[in-house]
């Protein structure tokens, strides 16, 4: 079967998480991804959070599937010459160095355009133009500067970061879309272009509903679906909403049977208006169907807390999976709080290729997250991450370097 991005060559100059998630996606769609790393050390994540001595970490392996790895000292003149050849041969250069690093290496946008006017240069940076544009940025910095931390957590606690890597992987996704759009536009213009995704911008985009709420708050001084309503005062800025739903249907996380010993024995429960009658019947509170204090969404808003306490009396009599089965029969939207262990063991996620077992020559078998985007005509096969420099000879050979040239470059520590 052909792949969506067959024939597209990616010069992958990325490291850590944000850039590698982007190029991994492109690899899953069939692009030939050539990852350029420094000889000896490679991507810093190869050695970070190791669970097996001297073996590429899961951090690295899980972000670098479907790629080839070459080592190259791109600050050495001979290494620069190899990079120039790669730039001429590839369609897209993806990088997430600290601001200015590519320019300092001598590969400005102008120079890259001279070498290959069709080249798309895609970058992740922490911030776009402005006061912080020169700053180095990691995941949680982006979560904080992008509005996620100030709106996550409980009202009486500090700002919180989330485990979902919205700053890194979230930005990688945004960048991948920008690259595919630029490749599409190149079909008509014949030209490359710069694609830039700032981590702060990506997080702000993912926090769009909180900017919605800021403007609602500015106008009305109240957010009635937030847990602060009606007992506490609202301040100037959108407060942390605990587990309240971000949409128009109130929701909360409720305890289920076994919560005393299992930290994940909880369910997310949404009191969607069209199934209010069914909810009342399931929990044995039929009088709420007609009681004017409960019968309409607006009437329920001032006492959502006590409503959820009552529903929780019912959920606590069921495991999260029993509750799911019963509630789904009535189309009541809800979701179990799944632990990573439960996700790893879930057969349906294995069947769809969302969780994949991969074999690695040094680490053996491990689990990874496969391609979350399914294309019916471009099936994803997840292949293991490359060892450092595993494909240096193969790639240089394809670029026209002879075995002797390659041996000389190796002797001079350029590769």
Determine, following the binding rule CB under 6 A, whether residue 413 of this chain makes contact with ligand COA.
no
Scanning the structure block, which residue is given the tokens 């369910």? 267
Please provide residue 36's backbone torsions phi and psi, each rounded to the nearest 5 degrees. -100, 125
Q: Considering 32, 43, 168, 213, which one is annotated as catalytic?
A: 168
Per CB under 6 A, the list member of 105, 283, 295, 324 interacting with ligand COA is 105
Determine, following the binding rule CB under 6 A, whether residue 138 of this chain makes contact with ligand COA.
yes
Q: How far is the CB of 110 from ligand COA (least distance, A)?
A: 18
Q: Is 331 a catalytic residue?
A: no
- C-alpha distances in Å from residue 291, one per residue of 142, 296, 311: 46, 9, 16
Per CB under 6 A, the list member of 5, 26, 94, 124 interacting with ligand COA is 124
Determine, following the binding rule CB under 6 A, whether residue 21 of this chain makes contact with ligand COA.
no
Of residues 132 and 229, the one with the C-beta less far from ligand COA: 132
Q: Distance between CA atoms of 82 and 213, rounded to whole angstroms?
A: 51
Dihedral sign (CA 238, 241, 244, 246): positive
Residue 353 region by backbone torsions, left for phi larger than 0, else alpha for psi between -120 and 50, else beta = left
Determine, following the binding rule CB under 6 A, whether residue 144 of this chain makes contact with ligand COA.
no
Q: Distance between CA atoms of 321 and 12, rounded to whole angstroms?
A: 43
Q: What's the full length of the chain, in residues? A: 415
Part in contact with ligand COA (CB under 6 A); list of ranges 135-143, 228-236, 356-364, 394-402: 135-143
Q: Tell me the number of residues near ligand COA by CB under 6 A.
A: 23
Neighbours of 114 (CB within 10 A): 11
Determine, following the binding rule CB under 6 A, whether residue 112 of this chain makes contact with ligand COA.
no
Determine, following the binding rule CB under 6 A, whether residue 132 of this chain makes contact with ligand COA.
no
Determine, following the binding rule CB under 6 A, whether residue 75 of this chain makes contact with ligand COA.
yes
| Ranges within 148-187 binding ligand COA (CB under 6 A) | 168
Per CB under 6 A, the list member of 52, 81, 101, 375 interacting with ligand COA is 101
Of residues 337 and 387, the one with the C-beta less far from ligand COA: 387
- Please, which residues bridge with residue 223 across strands? none
The residues annotated with a catalytic role in the active site are 168
Residues that bind ligand COA in the complex, under the rule CB under 6 A: 16-19, 36, 38, 72-75, 96-98, 101, 104-105, 124-126, 136-138, 168
């Amino acid at each position: 079967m052909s792949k969506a991005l067959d024939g597209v060559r990616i010069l992958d100059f990325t490291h850590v998480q944000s850039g590698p998630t982007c190029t991994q996606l492109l690899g899953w769609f069939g692009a030939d991804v050539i990852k350029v790393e420094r000889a000896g050390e490679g991507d810093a994540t190869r050695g970070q959070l190791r669970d097996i001595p001297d073996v590429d970490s899961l951090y690295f392996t899980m972000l670098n599937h479907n790629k080839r790895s070459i080592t190259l000292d791109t600050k050495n003149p001979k290494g620069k010459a190899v990079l120039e050849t790669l730039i001429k041969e590839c369609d897209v250069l993806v990088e997430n160095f600290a601001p200015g690093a590519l320019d300092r290496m001598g590969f400005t946008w102008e120079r890259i355009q001279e070498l290959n006017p069709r080249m798309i240069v895609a970058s992740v940076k922490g911030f776009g133009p402005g006061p912080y544009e020169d700053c180095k940025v990691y995941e949680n910095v982006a979560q904080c500067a992008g509005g996620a931390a100030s709106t996550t957590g409980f009202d009486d606690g500090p700002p919180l970061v989330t485990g979902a890597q919205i700053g890194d992987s979230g930005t990688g996704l945004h960048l991948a879309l920008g690259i595919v759009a630029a490749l599409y536009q190149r079909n008509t213009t014949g030209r490359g272009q710069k694609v830039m995704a700032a981590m702060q911008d990506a997080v702000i985009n993912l926090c769009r509903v909180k900017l919605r709420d800021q403007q609602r708050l500015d106008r009305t001084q109240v957010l009635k679906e937030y847990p602060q309503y009606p007992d506490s005062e609202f301040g100037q800025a959108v407060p942390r909403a605990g587990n309240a739903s971000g949409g128009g249907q109130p929701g909360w996380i409720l305890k289920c049977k076994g919560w005393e010993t299992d930290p994940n024995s909880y369910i997310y429960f949404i009191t969607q208006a069209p199934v209010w009658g069914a909810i009342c019947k399931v929990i044995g509170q039929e009088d709420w169907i007609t009681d004017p204090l409960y019968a309409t969404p607006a009437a329920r808003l001032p006492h959502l807390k006590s409503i959820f306490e009552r529903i929780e009396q019912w959920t606590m009599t069921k495991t999260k999976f029993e509750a799911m089965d019963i509630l789904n029969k009535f189309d009541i939207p809800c979701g179990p709080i799944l632990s990573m262990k439960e996700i790893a063991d879930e057969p349906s996620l294995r069947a769809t290729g969302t969780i994949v077992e991969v074999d690695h020559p040094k680490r053996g078998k491990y689990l990874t997250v496969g391609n979350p985007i399914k294309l019916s005509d471009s099936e994803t096969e997840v292949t293991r991450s490359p060892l450092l420099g595993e494909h240096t000879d193969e790639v240089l050979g394809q670029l026209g370097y002879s075995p002797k040239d390659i041996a000389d470059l190796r002797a001079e520590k350029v590769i």
